[in-house]
Structure 1
Amino acid sequence: MVRLVMILLGVDYLRTRWRAVMTLGLLSIALGGVIFTDALDGSLYFPIVPFVLMMLLEGLATLAVAWTGMGGQRKLRYVKGATFSLSALLVLFGGEHGNFVLSLIFGTLFLVDGALQIISARVVRFRKWRIAMAGGVLEIAIAIFFYQPYPDHYAGTVAYCVAFGLFFGGWNMILLAARVRRMAANPAVDGPNDTATQDDTAPAAPSFAGAVWDGPPAPDEAALTVHVWTPVGSAKSQPRRQLIVDRYIAAVDRNGTISTGHAALESPEGVYISLYPAVEIDRSPNEFSRTLRATRENDVPGLFQPDYETESKAWCASTHRVRIRNYDPVRLARFWQEYRRDTTYNLTYRNCSSSVARALEAAIEGASARVWGKGGGWKPLVRIMTTPELWVAAQVRKRAATMAWTPGLTLDYARALSMLADPRHSGWVKMARIAVATMYRSRQRWRAEEHAAARAQEEAASATAEQRTG
């Protein structure tokens, strides 16, 4: 999450506020320590009921406005609202049994995430895979802590969750402040993005200060486009459906051929990033497991496709598109100028999806600070920290970093970042606007009906008068 905040806000914005961010991080860790220690003896001073009521209110409010979201945003709001509401109800009405069920839920989430991280790091062997394995072991240790009843017989489950949230949040803020303190450039998009020669012919980033949109860009609107070919959509023959696997990893058709899908990025300025192996990789089940390792022996020559029209005609049209208005064409051009010098392809660590993810991060650097203008103050930071898509994007990025970037993960990542770069109206604002519009239309309809009824009465009265005079 630290790198995402650095990307979205930019170093210039964060460097002037690093002391305040550091202070908030230290206070968050201190408060988390107090809450955690308080829950150990089973006698809670932490105001659990008011906190749970706030969580229930947040969950119900999210469910009330979830229908106003767009696509993945709508699903995310439903998941968040249901999770908050269920957790709060378990604490309020479940008693000891509710706390026990809640402990099992949280423990299982940490256990599954930690085990998946260890397994993927062991199989893929990406750079810093040992650190990822240590993180997985820590998550399993936290899961065991939630599972076992000592020392409070599950009475402090919610307090522990709050404490862990404050710990991790505070640690992230401290890391963020430490990294931006003396930076001249953003290491979140290091290398190509910051070492390339400035291209004076590239257009400047458009100004979107104060802009808030109702939805994605219109088809005729200039925007950065992420093209995704899903494994199922790009399979040569009818695939055998496998839940989750064929969405995020690969699809297997009836002939046993594996399809991993594809991803590309296109800008209105003519940049098209689509990395593909120069020679088709053997994707039979026997060879596929060997090529998963992010090691040098699996590097093969690659090539960049010239443009979307050429690629789509030679293969097929992309199955999904994510479009973003608020991007910096200068940074994207600088990234592409350097990145295309190396055509190495690796199925795990340097593939089509990882290339698109890196280019997308380079293009949207500073997007949140840019959209709120120079006088935004703390508003950009507060907005992105309170937007649920930040958490989603961070989780997707974490999973891709510990496994591999796939077209499915790239699609989810691009959708989350599009909602952060192009801010939308909050659910309450949108619902209020819809309610006002509905009331206005109803009032107009009622007036039309009243006028029609009055005219009918006049015509009837006139007809009656004519009959009497006749």
Structure 2
Amino acid sequence: MIRLVLILLGFDYLRQRARGMFWLGIGFLAAGVVLFIDGLDSAHFFPLAWFAGLLLVGGLGTLVVAMVGAGGLRTMRLFKGLALVVAASLVLAGHHHGHFWLSMIFGTLFLADGLLQCVSASVVRFPRWRWAVGTGLLEVLIAIFFYQPYPTNYQGTVPYALSLWLLFGGWSMVMLAYRAIRVPQSATIESLMHGPRRRRGDAAGDAAGHGGSHWTDASHAPTKRVTKTLLFAPAGHATHLPDEGAPRLTVHVWTPSGSGQQPLRRRPVFDRYIAAVDASGAIWTGHTALEAPEGIYISFDPAQPLSRTPESVTQALRATIDNDVPGVFEPDCVTEASRRGDSTVRVHLRNYDAARLQRFWDAWRADTTYNLTYRNCAVSVARALEAAVEGALMRRRGRSGQRQSWTLLLQTLCMPELWLAAQLRKRGKTMAWTPGLVRDYARALSLLVDPHAHPHAHPRRWWRLGLAAMNRWRRQRRQWRTEDNQVQAE
């Protein structure tokens, strides 16, 4: 999560405050250690009731704000609000049962995430996959720690969870700040986070650049599809945001369920995020591309169509050199649509940096090596998106953001959209980037960098949203009272 925040704030933000970020990370680490030790002693010093009260107030406020939201933003806030209310209720319930169930919830979440990361990394075998397996095993050990009652009989569950967040977040801050202090001024957030270049000599496809599955067939005829356009763009705000007529970055997604030529065997989650299987057993994962008005079109395919049989797919899943094949970049959207058909889903963003996107594109297209789970269409678009939105939060805030940058950092950390985007990014890095993950990742990023497209998304206006919700309820009550009076009059 910390890494995604720094992408959105930009390298200039990190470089100017690298030493401050370093010591802030050290503070997080120290606080995490203190909280963990206090948890081992049944949380004698940690104010459990006070902290639970804050969680409850935050959860109820988030639920109130969610009432005036819409779409995915409303769903995320409802989920966040319910999670906070449930956690606070379990803590306030006290005694053994509340802490026990809260510990079981935390343990199950860590166990599921750790096992998924271990299995996916072992299958895909991207560079540094052993590190991913190691962190997955660490999560499994943390889950076991939450499950067993020793040494506090579950009394220290909340301090444990908070200390882990501080420890992981502090470590990320320290490492990124340390790198920022040592690198030249020409570096970018991408170079800090993705480490050294890939061993194959890829100019931009380094150790974090593995990702989703993708199969193409240049011979299949275009089919008609219903296109869903998701416009996440601001209506204009002073001079810091693009106006309504500003150029838009477009992410095109051809969903797996819309790519098959035969009836599909429906598997809701599998179809959305991994692949769709048709009646003949062929595997379809869809496709994704990125289009910028400056003339950039990023769409990466294997030069020769890959087999869709389960045996061939299983063999090609590992991100090893022997699975590298020649790739080709599509020339433009019109050419691709004439062969593949119109994209099923489109996500638009206006707050992006065209120069950063161009630099990424110049480096990325220098290598045409295609790998099914390491360097493909989904990875290309995900990496291009991160390059394009680098520093978007600071661009949106302008000079006020420079003055309130530390406040902006804390506000961003509290946004539910950030949590969703960070989870999707983690799945793409430790499992594989797929068109389904890229679609939801682009949606989450658009909510973060273009919140004025949703008047209720701005984190600094939560009290206005509460007033809006109360006014909405008052209007509803007046309407009900009027209807009751009419019924009585009749």
Contact 2:240 2:398 in 1 (8 A): no
Contact map agreement 2:114 2:135 (CA 8 A) in 1: yes
Distance, in Å, in 2 between the alignment partners of 1:347 and 1:251 is: 16
CA distance in 1, matches of 2:247, 2:470: 31
- Once the two structures are superposed, the pairs formed by residues 39-54 of structure 1 within 5 Å of their partners are 39-42=39-42, 44-54=44-54
Go from structure 1 to structure 2 and tell me whether the alpha carbon gap of 1:430 and 1:281 turns closer, same or farther (over 3 Å shift): farther
Q: 5+ unaligned residues in a row in structure 2: which ranges?
A: 192-196, 198-202, 206-235, 453-457, 480-490
Is the alpha carbon distance of 1:321 and 1:70 closer, same or farther for their aligned partners in structure 2, counting shifts above 3 Å? Answer: farther
Corresponding position of 1:288: 313
Q: Following TM superposition, by how much is the alpha carbon of 1:212 offset from its aligned partner in structure 2, in angstroms?
A: 6.9
1:335 aligns with 2:369: no
Partner secondary structure for residue 232 of structure 1: helix
Structure 1 position 31 matched with structure 2 position 27: no
Equivalent position amino acid for 1:287 in 2: S
Deviations 1:268-327 (A, max 9, x none): 112111111121101111111111110111111221112222222222221211111111
Q: 1:441 to 1:33 in 2, by over 3 A?
A: closer
- 1:244 CA displacement: 1.3
Map residues 384-423 of structure 1 onto 2, 5 A cutoff: 384-423=412-451
- Superposition pairs for residues 17-416 of structure 1, below 5 Å? 17-42=17-42, 44-93=44-93, 95-183=95-183, 184-190=185-191, 211=240, 222-376=247-401, 377=403, 378=405, 379-416=407-444
Q: Is the 8 A contact 1:208 1:370 kept in 2?
A: no
Q: Over residues 315-361 of structure 1, what are the superposed CA-to-partner deviations in whole Å (9 max), with x where a residue is unaligned?
A: 22212111111111112122222322222211100110000011111
In 1, are the aligned partners of 2:64 and 2:466 still within 8 Å (CA)? no
**Greater alpha carbon shift after TM alignment, 70-79 vs 47-56:** 70-79
- For the residues of structure 1 that align with 2:413 and 2:115, how far apart are their CA atoms? 28
d(CA) in 2 for partners of 1:180 and 1:92? 42
Q: Percent of aligned positions with the same letter in both sequences?
A: 52
Count of paired positions: 427
Aligned equivalent of 1:202: none
Query: Distance between the aligned counterparts of 1:437 and 1:266, measured in 2?
Result: 41
Alpha-carbon separation, structure 2, partners of 1:258 and 1:370: 42
**Bigger Cα displacement from structure 2, 311-320 vs 344-353:** 311-320
Check 1:69–1:118 CA distance in 2 against 1; reply closer, same or farther (3 A cut): same
* Residue aligned with 1:264, SS: strand
1:40–1:382 distance in 2 versus 1, CA, 3 Å: closer
Q: Which moved more, 1:284-293 or 1:5-14?
A: 5-14
- Greater Cα offset, 288-297 or 233-242: 233-242
Change (3 A) 1:316 1:47: same
CA distance in 1, matches of 2:330, 2:75: 34
Shift of 1:414: 0.9
Contact kept? 1:9, 1:380, Cα under 8 Å: no
Structure whose CA Rg is larger? 1
Equivalent residue letter for 1:82: L
Q: Is 1:431 the counterpart of 2:465 in the alignment?
A: yes
2:91, 2:475 → 1: CA distance? 43
Secondary structure at 2:259 match in 1 = coil
CA spacing shift, 1:405–1:319, aligned 2, 3 Å:
same
Pair 277,33 (structure 1): closer, same or farther in 2 beyond 3 Å: same
Measured in 2, the distance between the counterparts of 1:232 and 1:412 equals 16
| 1:6 matches 2:15 | no
Q: 1:167 to 1:440 in 2, by over 3 A?
A: closer
What secondary structure sits across from 2:268 in the alignment? coil
Letter in 1 for 2:16: T
Deviation at 1:434, TM superposition (A): 4.6
> Alpha-carbon deviation of 1:182?
3.3
Distance change in 2, residues 1:222/1:441 (3 Å): farther
Distance 2:170 2:262 in 1: 50
Distance 1:347 1:55, change over 3 A: same
The answer to which of 109-118 and 24-33 deviates more is 24-33
The Cα offsets for residues 8-43 of structure 1, whole Å up to 9 and x where unpaired, read as 122222212122222222222212222211121225
Q: Deviations over 1:47-98 (max 9, x none)?
A: 0001001101111111111143343222211111111111111121263111
CA distance in 2, matches of 1:308, 1:438: 44
| Runs of at least 5 residues in structure 1 that lack an aligned partner in the other structure | 195-206, 446-470
Partner in structure 2 of residue 456 of structure 1: none
Q: Deviations over 1:149-171 (max 9, x none)?
A: 00011111112111112212222
Specify the SS of the correspondent of 1:134.
helix
Residue equivalent to 2:228? none
Q: TM-score, normalised by structure 1?
A: 0.84
Q: Is the 8 A contact 1:226 1:266 kept in 2?
A: yes
Amino acid at match of 1:406: T
CA displacement at 1:230 relative to structure 2: 1.5
Q: Using structure 2 for the length normalisation, give the TM-score.
A: 0.81
Supply the distance in 2 between the matched residues of 1:88 and 1:2 (Cα, whole angstroms): 25
**In the aligned structure 2, how far is the partner of 1:393 from the partner of 1:157?**
26
1:250 is displaced (CA, Å) by 0.4
